[in-house]
Amino acid sequence: MLYQIAKPFLFKMDPEAAHHLIVDGMGTAARIPGVPSLLSAVWGTKASPELAVDLFGLHFTHPVGLAAGLDKNAKAVTGLSRIGLSFLEVGTVTPKGQSGNEQPRLFRLPPDEALINRMGFNNEGADVMAARLSKLSRHRVPLAVNIGKNKITPNENAADDYRACVQKLFPYGDFFVVNISSPNTPDLRALQHGDDLRNLLNAVKDEMAKQAEKHGELPKPILVKIAPDNTEEQLAYMAEAIQLSGMSGVIATNTTISREGLTHKNAGETGGLSGRPLTARSTEVIRSLYKITNGKLPIIGSGGIFTADDAYDKIRAGASLVEVYTAMIYKGPALLKEIHRGLLTRLKQDGFTRITQAIGADHR
């Protein structure tokens, strides 16, 4: 209700200005004594053992987390961890801060329940994020750090950028996500294929082992975020490379460059499309990856999750966890309670006692 009251005002603002108002505001408010508890009281979800997932050596109270892109600089981790999410991603972060692409670069498509962005990995850099995260106490929910390369770094040197992010942020992430699928950094998606992919993932895995030894800890899980615009053959090659390199899982999917079925005038803007138009395609990719890997490569499903049905469809297709983003812009934090309740209902309807029993159920 609170968000629905504020939404008309926010949607009259420039989308990026509204974005910063929400994220910066939540970051500031969460530092006020009593506010985090208030956020939990208003939007938090009650623990339901039926929905718990244990994955990557981490405990998730339910399957629904926040995708990267909302809190690029880890400014609002405390507040976001109190609104009903079971985990959250920060970033994408690059070794050096960069301003990203020219504005305007974020566009709403309300009739399509979609966003188009060409932000270009705008962020303050890994050192600033590390300093910010170092001031936080223990995470209430698992925290993923989504890492990328700077725009000026050529692909042949991309591994150095990903290594640098792991070096600087190893102590602060519970798991890491290698972003090679944004359409808004030139040639980045080329890193999804062939020797480039294998060499990059091997470098990240090597750096993770070095940092784990340095800090006296076990290596942190590493996932790879892929695009929805891959063919079945490309998905098969990618899955093989990801498995052979020892990655912990995959996030399917990032935004799409497709514009099929859009009605809003902003459909002609360049950039990555997220939201409702991505719902079916991302679920198809999850289904394909689960089948290709015989369910042995954990998948986090992301793309167009607006309802409990959307989330449950991805879980039955093979996702162990799911992420929301665009739907949070259109529906607000109340979305999380709605999905939480809906998943419990759907479990009962299918005769399952735990959400983990539904993972990949469509393949059985």
pLDDT, residue 318, reads 98
Strand pairing class (114-117; 272-275): antiparallel
Report how many domains make up the chain: 1
**More confident position, 194 or 114:** 114
pLDDT tens across 256-298, in order? 999 999 999 999 999 999 999 999 999 999 999 999 999 999 9
pLDDT, residue 1, reads 62
| Identity of residue 195 | D
pLDDT, residue 4, reads 81
Q: What's the CATH number where 37 sits?
A: 3.20.20.70
> pLDDT band at residue 59, thresholds of 50, 70 and 90?
very high
Residue carrying the six token digits 């395609």: 281
The verdict on whether 182 is a catalytic residue reads yes
pLDDT, residue 193, reads 74
pLDDT, residue 345, reads 98
**Sign (positive or negative) of CA dihedral 191, 311, 55, 76:** positive
Which structural domain range is residue 248 located in?
Answer: 2-363
pLDDT tens across 204-250, in order? 999 999 999 999 999 999 999 999 998 999 999 999 999 999 999 99
Please give the Cα distance from 275 to 113 (Å, whole number).
Answer: 6
pLDDT, residue 180, reads 86
The single residue of 81, 182, 245, 282 carrying the catalytic annotation is 182
Record the tokens describing residue 91, joined without a space. 């970033």
Mean pLDDT value across the chain: 94
Output the 3-class SS for 296-341.
Answer: CCCEEEECCCCCHHHHHHHHHHCCCEEEECHHHHHHCCHHHHHHHH
